[in-house]
Amino acid sequence: QTVILTRTAVRSSPMPPGEDLATYARSGATLAIHLSINNLARVVRELEPVLGRNAPVVVVHRASWPDQRILRGTLATIRARVKEAGITRTALILVGGAVAAEDFEDSRLYAPNHHHILRPRR
């Protein structure tokens, strides 16, 4: 249900106290980490102790562009996949259960048989 949008400090200002990846990971939310593909080793290093090596990861390179690429892996494998693909910028890192599509149930909010006050039965 929850997505946390964050970044890591590479060439920018440091993150405020308590706003670190391990703290966010302990919340159980899916993490959307931007401006951090060149800091992927650190992302993995901070998240593995909390989420484990098999935590699902998706890297979206050039999201919404015609040449968008999506790489899937785990914390244990994603660095090699990103290196092999030559991705060095313009990428979003998503980590958490929501990106494991096989194990995640789609929302029923817009299903034809779901009715609510704004979409009453006909």
Please check whether residue 13 is in contact with residue 40, taking contact to mean a CB–CB distance below 8 angstroms.
Answer: no
**Beta strands, E only, 8-110:** 30-34, 56-61, 69-74, 91-95
| Structural domain count, the chain | 1
What pLDDT digit, counting tens, does each position of 61-116 carry? 999 999 999 999 999 999 999 999 999 999 999 999 888 866 556 677 778 888 87
Which tokens in the block code for residue 4? 């946390």
Is residue 61 in some structural domain?
yes
pLDDT in the model for residue 104: 59
Could you tell me the residue range of the domain that residue 8 belongs to?
A: 3-103
DSSP 8-state secondary structure symbol assigned to residue 86: T
In a domain, 122, yes or no: no
pTM as predicted: 0.83
| Helix, strand and coil in the chain, % to nearest 5 | 30, 25, 50
Per-residue model confidence as pLDDT tens digits over 25-76 = 999 999 999 999 999 999 999 999 999 999 999 999 999 999 999 999 999 9
Domain annotation covers residue 115: no
How high is the pLDDT of residue 105?
Answer: 67
Output the six-digit token pair for 28. 């159980």
What pLDDT score does 110 carry?
Answer: 75
Q: Is 39 left (phi over 0), alpha (psi -120 to 50) or beta?
A: alpha
> Would you state the pLDDT for residue 103?
58
pLDDT of residue 13: 86
93 found inside a domain: yes
Residue 118 within a domain: no
Within a domain: residue 64? yes
- The H-assigned helical ranges of the chain are 21-26, 40-51, 78-85
Asked if residue 109 belongs to a domain, the reply is: no
- Is residue 20 a part of any domain in this protein? yes
CATH number at residue 26: 3.30.950.10
* Confidence at residue 117, expressed as pLDDT on a 0 to 100 scale: 80
